[in-house]
């Protein structure tokens, strides 16, 4: 008996094979409908985000709803250019070579719970723009947002081409048994490994947007007021439940002291005497995550914060000092408002500390010394970097966002999302020119040393010197000379008919 997922995927595959998703006009119409959905139901999504994470309106609007609208506008303004077939130079005269942009087919997009609207629907928009059918799987850990997506999406875009599937671990396990042409997953490294294992059955390509421990180095020469504000903002949006949040600080003991004192002032300015009562801070998504974070608080001394209220899913913004370097908080992704500080004596020691661990998704370096920042850039492999601030590299549409190693594989945002869901198909169209065919007969048996030398004269594999290069030059020069002779003939013929030539001769 067929599972409901087999039927859902089957309908999507049937719609794709019928060509329903392929026309650019259809893609445009679906993207415009998605934009309309966000604009007409922003209040619904904001209410859902408030329910799941108690997300402030500004964060919900700017980091989720408005971000999705802006992404669609960016895509619609460039889609005609992106879908065009790209012509490339041919090695042999009269041939045509080009790259054809085609969709993969039926793709699965699995969203995350921390930004449950944006991290689900942004890749969906790119997959639609590329011409795919899309199975949409929002995270069950943010149930209100998942329900909003499941309710609203079918009202605005094609139900067969873009179905929404909800459910927890058992349902997701069954869904992953189906065959997809591409899988896009955002979430933890552990689940990412499970997704990739499932994809391996059919050799399905995957993009894995994972997490990890994103370091933040602070030099002694920085404007500390500015640095503290930028670090704390990056750490505390979504109450630390951000995959690219600064996970820990690397700095000297002297810099740590200055940072802590300034952080106390900034947190007081932002959230007052009672941060738990502030409307500007989210909540932890579930009580089990509160329990996990409470364990991390035991790994050092709370120089700031440290309070926990499990019933309210609350963990206070906390700075930990004197942290044991072998403790869990320095081995596991924190994903919460706890910021441990690791003391190092130099930027070289900081780089070695980072490189002794798994490659991070993001890295932040605060320093006025360009030589130091350049050393970090050259010597630390990571997904992306913001220098002298946090988070903002991910908001730049022209920059790819993605991880490396345990922090993920593949990238998206802007055109990179379109490219992720697009197969670049190579096409070479040969001519039936008899002269070229004779020139290429050296490839046919019987094989001779003379033919071998002729064929291997093409050294660089491109347009450099070689037999076909000179053949192309011959034809280009011949055509140029022919055109020149024709133009000269026409000038003389026209001049003669007007009597100009005779008058000049006389």
Catalytic site residues?
A: 209, 243
Contacts 24+ apart (CB under 8 A), 433-437: 433/93, 433/94, 436/92, 436/93, 436/94, 436/471
Please state the φ and ψ torsions of residue 271, each to the nearest 5 degrees.
Answer: -120, 0
Choose among 120, 52, 66, 44: nearest CA to 282: 52
Q: Interhelix angle for 118-129 vs 24-40, to 10°?
A: 160
Choose among 210, 183, 219: nearest CA to 106: 183
CB 402 within 8 A of CB 410: yes
CB 220 within 8 A of CB 145: no
Choose among 234, 209, 214, 210: nearest CA to 330: 214
In sequence order, the 6+-apart residues with CB closer than 8 A to the CB of 32 are: 72, 76
Compute the distance between CA of residue 70 and CA of residue 73 in angstroms, rounded to an integer: 5
Q: Interhelix angle for 24-40 vs 143-156, to 10°?
A: 130
Locate 355 and state its tokens: 């490189």
Chain centre to alpha carbon of residue 278? 33
Give the bridge partners for 135, in sequence order. 108
Contacts 24+ apart (CB under 8 A), 383-388: 383/244, 383/359, 383/407, 383/408, 384/244, 386/362, 388/222, 388/227, 388/230
**Number of residues that this document lists for the chain:** 506
Choose among 425, 446, 461: nearest CA to 103: 425
Residue 128's CB is within 10 A of a number of other CB atoms, namely 29
Compute the distance between CA of residue 343 and CA of residue 347 in angstroms, rounded to an integer: 11
Please state the φ and ψ torsions of residue 80, each to the nearest 5 degrees.
Answer: -60, -35
Choose among 457, 386, 342, 408: nearest CA to 209: 408
């Amino acid at each position: 008996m067929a599972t409901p997922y087999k039927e859902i995927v089957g309908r999507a595959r049937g719609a794709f094979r019928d060509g329903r998703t392929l026309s650019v006009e259809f893609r445009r119409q679906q993207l415009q409908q998605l934009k309309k959905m966000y604009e007409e139901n922003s209040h619904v999504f904001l209410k859902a985000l408030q329910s799941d994470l108690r997300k402030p309106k500004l964060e919900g609007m700017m980091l989720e709803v408005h971000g999705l609208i802006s992404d669609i506008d960016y895509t619609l303004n460039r889609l005609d250019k992106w879908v065009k077939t790209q012509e490339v130079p041919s090695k042999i005269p009269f041939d045509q070579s080009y790259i054809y942009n085609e969709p993969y087919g039926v793709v699965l997009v699995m969203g995350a719970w921390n930004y449950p609207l944006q991290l689900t629907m942004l890749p969906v928009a790119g997959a639609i723009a590329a011409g795919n059918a899309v199975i949409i799987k929002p995270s069950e850990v943010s149930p209100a947002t998942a329900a909003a997506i499941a309710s609203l999406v079918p009202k605005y875009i094609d139900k067969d081409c873009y179905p929404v599937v909800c459910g927890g671990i058992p349902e997701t396990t069954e869904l992953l048994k189906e065959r997809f042409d591409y899988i896009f997953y955002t979430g933890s490294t552990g689940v990412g490994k499970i997704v990739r294992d499932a994809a391996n059955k059919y050799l399905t390509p995957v993009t894995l947007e994972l997490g990890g421990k994103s370091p933040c180095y602070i030099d002694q020469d920085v404007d500390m007021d500015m640095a503290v504000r930028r670090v704390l903002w990056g750490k505390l949006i979504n109450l630390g439940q951000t995959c690219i949040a600064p996970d820990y600080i690397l700095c000297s003991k002297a810099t740590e002291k200055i940072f802590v004192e300034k952080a106390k002032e900034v947190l007081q300015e932002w959230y007052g005497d009672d941060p738990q009562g502030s409307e500007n801070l989210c909540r932890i998504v579930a009580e089990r995550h509160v329990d996990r974070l409470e364990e991390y608080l035991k790994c050092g001394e709370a120089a700031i914060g440290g309070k926990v209220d499990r019933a309210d899913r609350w963990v206070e913004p906390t700075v930990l000092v004197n942290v044991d370097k072998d403790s869990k908080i320095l081995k596991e992704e924190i994903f919460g408002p706890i910021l441990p500080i690791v003391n190092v004596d130099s930027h070289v020691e900081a780089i070695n500390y980072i490189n002794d661990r798994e490659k991070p998704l993001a890295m932040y370096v605060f320093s006025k010394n360009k030589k130091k920042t350049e050393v970090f850039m050259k010597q630390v492999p990571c997904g992306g970097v913001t220098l002298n601030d946090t988070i903002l590299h991910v908001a730049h549409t022209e920059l790819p966002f993605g991880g490396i190693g345990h922090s993920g594989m593949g990238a998206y945002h802007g055109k990179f999302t379109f490219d992720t869901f697009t197969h670049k198909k190579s096409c070479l169209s040969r001519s039936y020119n008899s002269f070229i065919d004779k020139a290429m007969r050296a490839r046919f048996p019987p094989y001779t040393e003379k033919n071998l030398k002729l064929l291997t004269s093409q050294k660089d594999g491109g347009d450099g010197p070689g037999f076909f290069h000179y053949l192309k030059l011959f034809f280009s020069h011949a055509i140029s000379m022919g055109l020149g002779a024709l133009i000269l003939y026409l000038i003389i013929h026209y001049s003669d008919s007007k009597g100009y030539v005779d008058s000049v001769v006389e």
